[in-house]
A and B are shown apart, each in its own frame.
Chain A
Amino acid sequence: MAVITALLVPVVAFSQEELPWKEASASSQAYHKYRQKSTIPPYGLAKVKKLISGIVYLEGDGDNGTSGLGNKTYMALSLREKFTYHMIHAEVSSQNCDVSPPILEEDKKIFGNLPDAFDEAAWSERQENFLQSNRDSVLALIKASVSRTNRVGLNYKAAIVQVNGKEIIPFLIETYKRDQKDYDILTVLMLLMKKGEYKPFMTSASFVKLYGSKSTYLSFIDYNKANEELIINRATAFYNGPR
Chain B
Amino acid sequence: MMVSSSKLKAQPDSTLVKIPAGAYWIGGQTHQLNPLRKISLANFYIGKTEITNLQFEDFVKATAYKTDAERLRNAMVFEPGLAEFKWLRDSTAFWRFPNGRSRGGIENKMNHPVTSISYADAEAYCKWAKVRLPTLDEWEVASRAGAKGTYFWGEDQEQIGTYANIWNARDHLTADVSDGYMYTSPVASFKANAFGLYDMYGNVFEFCEGSLKNDPKKRKVVHARGGSWWCSRNSCGFFNSVDIGRVNPHAAFSNQGFRIAKTTPN
Contacts and interface: CB of A to CB of B under 8 A. Distances in A.
Interface stretch (B1-9, B11-19, B102-110, B179-187): B11-19
Given A96-B245, A96-B256, A24 B17 contact: no
Contacts of B243: 97, 101
A10 B224 contact: no
Contacts, number: 188
Contact of A101 (B20, B33, B224, B234): B33
B38 A6 contact: no
Interface string B59-88: 000000000100110101000000011111
A99 B245 CA distance: 8
Interface in A98-147: 98-99, 101-104, 116, 119-122, 124-125
A3 B194 contact: no
Contacts of B253: 93, 95-96
B21 A2 contact: no
| Main secondary structure on B side of the interface with A | loop
A200 interface: no
Given A8-B195, A101-B31, A13 B148 contact: yes
Contacts of A99: 245-246
B32 A65 contact: no
A2 B15 contact: yes
A10 B220 CA distance: 33
A93 B31 contact: no
B205 interface: yes
Contacts of A124: 89
Given A6-B196, A16-B38, A215 B234 contact: yes
